[in-house]
Amino acid sequence: MVKKIISGVLFLLLHPAVTQSATPTMLLYGPTSGCYENTTPGYNITIWNAAQWASATTAQFAAFNVIVIADCPYCITAPSTIYDAAIANAPVWSAAVTGNQLIVGTDPDDHVAAGNAPVSLIYNFINFAASGTGTGLYVSLSCFFQTDPPGTSVPLLSALGSFTVEGAGGCSNAVHKIANNPALNGVTDALLSNWTCSVHEGFDTWPAGYLPLAIATDAANPNYTAPDLTTGLVFMLAKGNSVVPVPTPCVAGGNTCTPTFTPTFTYTPTMTNTPTLTPTNTPCGFPGNTCTPTFTPTPTPTPYTVDIFTADKNIFVPSQDKFVTLNVQYSQVPGPYSLRIYNTAGEHIKDLDSMYSTVLINKTYQWDGTNKFGEPCASGLYIIYLVEPFNRKVKKLILIR
């Protein structure tokens, strides 16, 4: 009986209960988490570390609307052990996935943080995967396979079927959307392209039921021909809600389509009298006429500034001061921002704030030296990172225990 009680306590500690509510629930694979609290507002987010993930059951995974294996807070490259826990119990969590799925061969969250990918992109991805009646799945392969040869297997996805990938050949930046899907609502080729490195790896083969959404047209090995006859490397796959191919243009000797034909009619009027001609207004610039040109001034953008600074000092000793105060100054910031804390290893420690529709002028924050789980942070150098659409500000802070 004592063993059963201890076992039950350990179970509850490792897997806190998921509160059932109207708010959609998201489970994040802990070793890749850190940013989705900011890019997916409105979700009840749970983060399991590697030990929690490894000991969970299929029923526990199925309690969430969407399971997310992400790319945050950095571009994940091989060799790495970051996916080990997820690979080890892939049959367990994969069995819970009965809803929509989206798998991408790039690192969109890293590019959102860098300011060269739209914030709405990841929100679309998560919403698509979370919609429907079953548990959905969103997987970012980040940069893990960016240098691998064609036909490389993907152990992380093995329980979902046979996937093989290859590196895109350096950095691919030319992206073409080849299908319409809720995951890409409002997303154009231009928004998917020119992220400095938009695509890191693409798919050579994939199981039946998965359909391509986008291709890298400048990949080193363009091995797929889309319905509109463009060629490239598929780096985005979806399963679930219907995928509709982008309308195909008519191509002589190629695809089948119904051309649009507008007949031309020639009409010769019969005139019985000499018409009276009434002159029309002459446009400005025509020789000889007098006119008042219309001038529409081009508005001059209002400049703005962003800054972050400590109100008192750059050394924080929690035993002496309960909080360290951080002031953020804004002047007409044009869009969303977030204020995050990282350690020097690049690990995400805590978010102090994130806003997606409000512009602030000035705001004061206080940090008590704990991480996002409420645990005291160790002594060391910490980076206060302010991200907004056109600027990034960094403030270094030394914490001494």
Q: Give the span between the Cα atoms of 383 and 77, in whole angstroms.
A: 23
pLDDT beyond 70 at 351: yes
Higher-pLDDT residue of 187 and 212 is 212
Q: Report residue 292 as tokens.
A: 């008042």
Specify the pLDDT at position 89: 95
358 pLDDT band (50/70/90 cuts)? very low
pLDDT, one tens digit per residue, over 99-143 is: 999 999 999 888 887 778 887 888 888 889 998 789 999 999 988
Backbone angles phi, psi at 24, to 5 degrees: -65, 145
Contact of 85 with 69, CB cutoff 8 Å: no
184 pLDDT band (50/70/90 cuts)? confident
The residue behind tokens 């081009």 is 298
The amino acid present at 372, given as its one-letter code, is K
Higher-pLDDT residue of 133 and 391 is 133
Exposure b/e, 65-77, CB count within 10 A at least 16 = b: bbbbbbbbbbbbe
**Mean of per-residue pLDDT scores for the chain:** 78
**What is the CB neighbour count within 10 angstroms for residue 372?**
15
Judged by DSSP in three states, 75 sits in coil
Please, which residues have CB within 8 angstroms of residue 362's CB and are 6 or more apart in sequence? 327, 328, 329, 330
pLDDT beyond 70 at 259: no
- Residue (of 389, 390, 331) closest to 120 by Cα position: 389
Show the beta-strand stretches assigned E in 197-258: 199-205, 211-216, 224-225, 231-239, 244-245
Specify the pLDDT at position 284: 55
Contact of 218 with 174, CB cutoff 8 Å: yes
**pTM to 2 decimal places:** 0.60
Q: Report residue 394 as tokens.
A: 């960094």
The residue behind tokens 């059932």 is 20
209: DSSP letter: T
Please, which residues have CB within 8 angstroms of residue 233's CB and are 6 or more apart in sequence? 166, 168, 172, 199, 202, 203, 215, 216, 219, 221, 222, 223, 224
Lowest mean pLDDT among 43-52, 142-151, 179-188: 179-188
Architecture of domain 306-399: Sandwich (2.60)
Judged by DSSP in three states, 324 sits in strand
Contact of 172 with 163, CB cutoff 8 Å: no
CATH 2.60.40.1930 domain range(s) in the chain: 306-399
